[in-house]
Structure 1
Amino acid sequence: MAGRAAGVPAALARRPNRVFRPQDVADVYAHPRAELARLSGTGVIRRLATGYYAMTPLDRLGDAWRPELEAAALGVAIADYGPDVVALIGASAARHHGALPRAVAVATVAVPKQRPVMVMENGAISFAKRDVTRLDVERVQTELVSGWVTTVEQTLLDIAAPPGRFDLHLGDRAEVMAALGRRADLALVAELAAQQHRPAALRRIRASLDVNSA
């Protein structure tokens, strides 16, 4: 059938989230774990971590494709919690906004409850317990799924959190804040800081931007 790889049922190929778990395809396969392992061996799907797989894009069949870490992280979070309560945040959001051009080894995603870091084949996912409904977010389309990412303003506020929270070195953190600050609506940043009770982060942003504009 056009638009999907041979051997993959249409019900699987049509999934809006191209990251899935064995239990997600129990209505498609009688023995989902065994079938997903077989498809992974053919390259039609890619194993991301224990119990998580991603559909290989049609134009990447036969090569060594693997998804971007941030796309995989968002897909995993949506598979576990649904699309409305998760979002890329921190350094992962900064990469989406082009403020952190270098790849990082950990993708950070907000989820409804705290859970351990998940080790992937090309990095790790750090899960932060946050109420996404209280964050300023916008829709993003990745190569695997459509979901939420924090806006430039929310990302700037998050990056201004205490050092170490988002696995950024001090130099990278200053660079990211400067890049986001050039694009951010600083009035909205101040409004978000007031709503989220983060005056220290706002002071850090203002001090950083004053230094970078000097």
Structure 2
Amino acid sequence: MVNDVDALRAIERAPLRTVRPQDLESDLSHARRTIARLVDRGALVRLAKGVYAAPPEGRDGRQWRPTLETAGLAVATARFGNRNAILMGLGAARHWAAIPRAIGATTVAIPEAGRPPVTLDGGGMIHLIPRDVERLDAALEQNELGRALVTTPAQTLYDLLMKPGQGGMPDEALAAARHLRGQVGPADLRRVVDTLGRANPAVRDVLNALEREVPRVEGA
């Protein structure tokens, strides 16, 4: 019989240290009861309905909470699979410090359409954005729970300009795009545009401006 310690170790080995009870049922009898005991002891924390994470470094789940962006990635990873969730848009802008303060929403790309937003137990909303995740320009980045995919600054800038309303905070998205622009080179943004095959006027304006700036920077 698997005891609580063994169950916790299995959860800690899961992607982003996060699971759903049904993920454990094939190996663990009474998975839901075991998870409930571990939550009561602070060994696990409930991120959202049906999704639980093991806090890092033995921290007490009754006091510890991950950032909104980390929690969003963890919930989406548990629901859609490892590497099938990518922090994008507002969430990626927060990761790249283009939004300096905490906000109440984050955006995560997933490979399925029609998924409603998820409310986190610790506050905040995850907007699940249907995308072809294999075409997104993303990199593995470290967060509180492990390594996960985040769109690059160039991809993030593109997404913020193409659809600033994703996540329900268009003013913050456009402000983040302005802050992020200094992290993006014209070749990187051009590669994203060419890969995805389209650009709205906002993206074209920024790309043209970046390309005009290159000679001035190189000759400085």
2:5 match: secondary structure: coil
Partner of 1:56: 55
Q: What's the RMSD between the two structures over aligned residues?
A: 2.3
Query: Number of aligned pairs?
Result: 204
* Distance across 2 between alignment mates of 1:62 and 1:49: 14
Question: Which runs of structure 2 are paired with 1:1-214 in the superposition (5 Å)?
Answer: 7-9=4-6, 10-61=9-60, 64-114=63-113, 115-121=115-121, 122-170=123-171, 172-196=172-196, 197-206=198-207
User: TM-score, normalized by length of structure 2?
Assistant: 0.83
Alpha-carbon shift at residue 68 of structure 1 (Å): 1.0
Q: Which has the higher helix share?
A: 2
Tell me which amino acid in the other structure corresponds to 1:73: G
Alpha-carbon shift at residue 116 of structure 1 (Å): 0.7
Tell me which amino acid in the other structure corresponds to 2:102: A
Tell me which amino acid in the other structure corresponds to 1:183: Q
Q: Deviations over 1:31-66 (max 9, x none)?
A: 111111121111110011111001022352275111
Unaligned 5+ segments in structure 2 are 213-220
Q: Deviations over 1:134-184 (max 9, x none)?
A: 1111111211232211000000001102442233342x3343122211110
Instruction: Note if contact 1:117-1:124 (Cα within 8 Å) is conserved in structure 2.
Output: yes
Alpha-carbon shift at residue 208 of structure 1 (Å): 8.4
**Fraction of identical pairs, as percent:** 37
Tell me which amino acid in the other structure corresponds to 1:87: I
Tell me which amino acid in the other structure corresponds to 1:120: L
User: TM-score, normalized by length of structure 1?
Assistant: 0.85
2:165 match: secondary structure: coil
* Distance across 1 between alignment mates of 2:209 and 2:37: 52
* Distance across 2 between alignment mates of 1:162 and 1:190: 17
Instruction: Note if contact 1:87-1:110 (Cα within 8 Å) is conserved in structure 2.
Output: yes
